[in-house]
């Protein structure tokens, strides 16, 4: 099997076992309140590229973490990501009607149920992290919970979304844009990577620092590539609706740096991410492959 | 000092130290994202009767729990309560403009910020529960986190709110109404009581059962009294706007049972709550006083 096929098989296996875990552990649609449980499942099941769960598993491999613990952490991080999309799509925020080819949660279930589905998905993430055994040392498990709470909160993802709202329509400098994205997208990506690693053997301070360097570079790269893809939909396909970011008058890397420079920047971040891993042995392979996948993706 | 004065002083001291804790530990309004941090503080500070924190401390007294742990648990439970009010007041839900004599969060800060403030208050509750030392046995601390997550989620408070939405305008039977309120208001009240007790010495199975009996009776009593107060605002003060529940065509105890029977029911629940405590010694005093306070309150 050549390397890309091997990576594809690895990521498909993880996506498949994640889907299975979510199917079994999300509240079943047959029990009350049924409409809420349907809305929660609609928001989480059969969705997306599952980048954060893949990062949890790849970082777990680096630290030789047990698969059972990684599964729970991956699913919990994905619940937080899914809830943030449900709330982000609400009319009071981005007012989106389509997500992953399906109607958004509030279009399908109404705004009130979408609001509650997001709220209860967040609670469920912390329920899972506290009820499954994740580490022989319960204090390490408490620290995993704290990492996810910090990454979700006002100094993490939620704070980044607020900065995005407060900045819409204003001109951002590159450092301001970076500060926003390190929270908005970066915090949860960083948490996925560090939580995955923290399920395994203890890292040295130096390893911790290098892994954080990888996580920061990759979180930013993810967003830069997002901006480039959004802008290219506009540039390449003439006559199509302009990119969503430009339409919403949002600051983007492509807008501030120009498209070519943004592409160069994403490749520079990929180099930084890969270099940060050099201290680790062959167990770094999946994290390297994921960095390549994230920067070179076409959607 | 006569007993009511003593109870008043005890509850004022707790409310005061809670306010102090919240002031110090909520993100300061001077750091970014400032508007989000202001919205979070608006939603939590200087608010309400603080019934849930009082229950945490009263149950903690029963189990001789250390005050530092109770403070963190009380504050975390109050964050969950505050976030649920912010989301409940949104136009997609109850569309309320006033809360505790102040403009609701979305009136003051806009819908998007109110949504994010609620979301990040929930994260902060789990951050506090995982980062402060609450119990020498970290496994007990994990179980506190699980209790709050369950009480907030789709089979607790969030589920009760969904049942309330799904039921508006339809005729409920008394058992259906009770099932909804055991989740909507009851779950968080029960969690406050049990989490407070679980910060202290281990309870026997029998004690656990009695305390749960107290918590269930009190949670229901709280809601029955709410319904009676809402209905009496309509009955007593002629010419005033009809009670909010009747206007929203919501099922209430006063509506289904009649006002007099609902009052009798609240007194019966008070008796059940007090009887459930009989197995405990003099340390049950604050829980008894709180039950009296909740059932006999005038607002």
Return the structure tokens found at B71. Answer: 């403070």
Three-state SS across chain B?
A: CCHHHHHHHHHHHHHHHHHHHHHHHCCCCCCCCHHHHHHHHHHHCCCCCCHHHHHHHHHHHHCCCCHHHHHHHHHHHHHHHHHHHHHHCCCCCCCCCEECCEECHHHHHCHHHHHHHHHHHHHHHHHHHHHCCCCCCHHHHHHHHHHHHHHHCCCCHHHHHHHHHHHCCCCCCHHHHHHHHHHHCHHHHHHHHHHHHHCCCCCCHHHHHHHHHHHHHHHHHHHHHHHHHHHHHHHHCCCCCCCHHHHCCCCCHHHHHCHHHHHHHHHHHHHHHHHHCCCCCHHHHHHHHHHHHHHHCCC
Position B27 scores a pLDDT of: 98
Position B168 scores a pLDDT of: 74
A84: chain B residues, CB-CB within 8 Å:
119
Token pair 């003439």 in the structure block, residue? A238
Residue A100 pLDDT class (50, 70, 90 cuts): confident
- pLDDT, tens digit, 9 for 90 and up, residues A70-96: 999 999 999 999 999 999 999 999 999
Answer whether residue B287 shows pLDDT above 60. yes
The per-residue pLDDT of chain B, averaged, comes to: 93
- pLDDT, tens digit, 9 for 90 and up, residues A117-137: 999 999 999 999 999 999 999
Looking at A32-46, B5-19, B234-248, which range is the least confident one? B234-248
Position B245 scores a pLDDT of: 67
- pLDDT, tens digit, 9 for 90 and up, residues B79-136: 999 999 999 999 999 999 998 889 999 999 999 999 999 999 999 999 999 999 999 9
Mutation site, A131, A153, A165, A195, interface B, largest B CB count within 10 A: A153
SS3 A103: strand
Answer whether residue B240 shows pLDDT above 50. no
- pLDDT, tens digit, 9 for 90 and up, residues B3-39: 778 999 999 999 999 999 999 999 999 999 999 999 9
SS3 A206: helix
Q: What is the β-pairing status of strands B102-103 and B98-99? A: antiparallel
Position B231 scores a pLDDT of: 87
Residue A298 pLDDT class (50, 70, 90 cuts): confident
Among residues A35, A115, A162, the alpha carbon closest in space to that of B90 is found at: A115
| Interface contact flag, A116 B27, Cβ < 8 Å | no
Instruction: Give Dmax over CA atoms of chain A in angstroms.
Output: 58
Answer whether residue A246 shows pLDDT above 70. no
Q: Does B127 contact A at CB distance below 8 Å?
A: yes
Q: How far apart are CA B243 and CA B190, in angstroms?
A: 27
Answer whether residue A239 shows pLDDT above 60. no
Domain edges within chain A: 1-173, 203-285
Q: How far apart are CA B203 and CA B287, in angstroms?
A: 16
CB within 8 A of A39, min separation 6: which ones? A105, A108, A109, A113, A114, A116, A117
A108-to-A48, A84, B115 alpha-carbon distances in Å: 18, 17, 20
Q: What is the β-pairing status of strands B98-99 and A102-103? A: unpaired
Looking at A35-49, A111-125, A159-173, B228-242, which range is the least confident one? B228-242
- pLDDT, tens digit, 9 for 90 and up, residues A61-77: 999 999 999 999 999 99
- pLDDT, tens digit, 9 for 90 and up, residues B46-85: 988 999 999 999 999 999 999 999 999 999 999 999 999 9
Position A177 scores a pLDDT of: 92
The per-residue pLDDT of chain A, averaged, comes to: 93
Q: Is the ipTM of this complex over 0.90?
A: yes
Residue A168 pLDDT class (50, 70, 90 cuts): confident
Domain A1-173 has CATH 1.10.600.10: yes
Q: How far apart are CA B120 and CA A224, in angstroms?
A: 25
Among residues B2, B3, B7, B59, the alpha carbon closest in space to that of B273 is found at: B59
Q: Does B285 contact A at CB distance below 8 Å?
A: no
Q: How far apart are CA B269 and CA B263, in angstroms?
A: 10
- State the nearest Cα–Cα gap between A295 and chain B, in angstroms: 29
Q: How far apart are CA B57 and CA B71, in angstroms?
A: 8
| Interface contact flag, B116 A32, Cβ < 8 Å | no
| Interface contact flag, A127 B118, Cβ < 8 Å | no
Answer whether residue A240 shows pLDDT above 70. no
Answer whether residue A23 shows pLDDT above 50. yes
- State the nearest Cα–Cα gap between B139 and chain A, in angstroms: 6
Out of A111, A123, A152, closest to residue B149 by CB: A123
Residue A235 pLDDT class (50, 70, 90 cuts): low
Position A241 scores a pLDDT of: 44
Token pair 């989480």 in the structure block, residue? A44
Phi, psi dihedral angles at B287 (to 5 degrees): -65, -40
**CATH tag, B3-290:** 1.10.600.10
Position B238 scores a pLDDT of: 39
Return the structure tokens found at A128. Answer: 């899972």
User: Is B259 in contact with B38 (CB distance < 8 Å)?
Assistant: no
Looking at A7-21, A204-218, A230-244, B268-282, which range is the least confident one? A230-244
- What is the mean predicted confidence (pLDDT) over B178-184? 94
User: Whole-model pTM?
Assistant: 0.95
How many A-B residue pairs are in contact by the CB < 8 A criterion? Answer: 165
Answer whether residue B219 shows pLDDT above 80. yes
Answer whether residue B242 shows pLDDT above 70. no
Token pair 């807008």 in the structure block, residue? A255
Out of A93, A124, A166, closest to residue B153 by CB: A124
Q: Which of residues 130-149 of A touch B (CB under 8 A)?
A: 130-131, 137-139, 141-143, 145-146, 148-149
Residue with the bigger pLDDT between B167 and B193: it is B193
- pLDDT, tens digit, 9 for 90 and up, residues A198-219: 999 999 999 999 999 999 999 9
Looking at A5-19, A240-254, A270-284, B179-193, which range is the least confident one? A240-254
| Chain A: residue whose CA lies nearest to B36 | A162
Task: Please report the beta strands in chain A, taking only residues with DSSP state E, as ranges in sequence order.
Answer: 98-99, 102-103
Q: How far apart are CA B131 and CA B66, in angstroms?
A: 17
**Cis upstream peptide for A33 (omega within 30°):** yes
Percent of chain A with pLDDT over 90: 83
- What is the mean predicted confidence (pLDDT) over A164-192? 90
The CB density around residue B273, as the number of other CB atoms within 10 Å, is 25
Burial of B251 (0-12, 13-18, 19+ CB in 10 A): buried
Side-chain half-sphere CA neighbours of B83 within 13 A: 30
CA angle (B75, B79, B81) in 5-degree steps:
115
- What is the mean predicted confidence (pLDDT) over A179-206? 97
- What is the mean predicted confidence (pLDDT) over A285-290? 97
Phi, psi dihedral angles at A102 (to 5 degrees): -115, 160
């Amino acid at each position: 099997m050549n390397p890309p096929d091997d990576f594809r098989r690895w990521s498909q296996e993880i996506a498949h076992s994640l889907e299975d875990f979510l199917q079994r552990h999300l509240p079943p649609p047959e029990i009350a309140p049924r409409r809420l449980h349907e809305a929660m499942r609609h928001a989480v099941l059969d969705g997306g590229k599952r980048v954060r769960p893949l990062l949890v598993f790849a970082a777990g491999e680096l630290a030789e973490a047990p698969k059972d613990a990684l599964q729970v952490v991956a699913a919990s991080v994905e619940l937080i990501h899914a809830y943030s999309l449900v709330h982000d799509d609400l009319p009071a925020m981005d007012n989106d009607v389509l997500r992953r080819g399906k109607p958004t949660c509030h279009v399908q279930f109404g705004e009130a149920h979408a609001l509650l589905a997001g709220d209860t998905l967040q609670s469920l993430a912390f329920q899972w992290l506290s009820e499954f055994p994740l580490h022989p040392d319960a204090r390490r498990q408490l620290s995993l919970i704290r990492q996810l709470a910090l990454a979700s909160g006002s100094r993490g993802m939620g704070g980044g979304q607020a900065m995005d709202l407060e900045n819409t329509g204003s001109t951002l400098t590159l450092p301001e844009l970076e500060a926003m994205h390190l929270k908005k997208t970066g915090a949860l990506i960083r948490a996925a990577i560090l939580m995955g690693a923290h399920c395994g053997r203890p890292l040295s301070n130096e390893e911790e620092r290098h892994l954080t360097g990888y996580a920061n570079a990759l979180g930013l790269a993810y967003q830069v590539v997002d901006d480039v893809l959004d802008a290219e939909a506009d540039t390449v396909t003439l006559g199509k609706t302009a990119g969503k970011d430009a339409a919403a008058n949002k600051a983007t890397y492509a807008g501030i740096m120009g498209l070519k420079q943004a592409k160069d920047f994403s490749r520079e971040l990929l180099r930084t991410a890969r270099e940060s891993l050099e201290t680790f042995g062959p167990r770094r392979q999946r994290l390297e492959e994921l960095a390549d996948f994230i920067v070179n993706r076409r959607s």
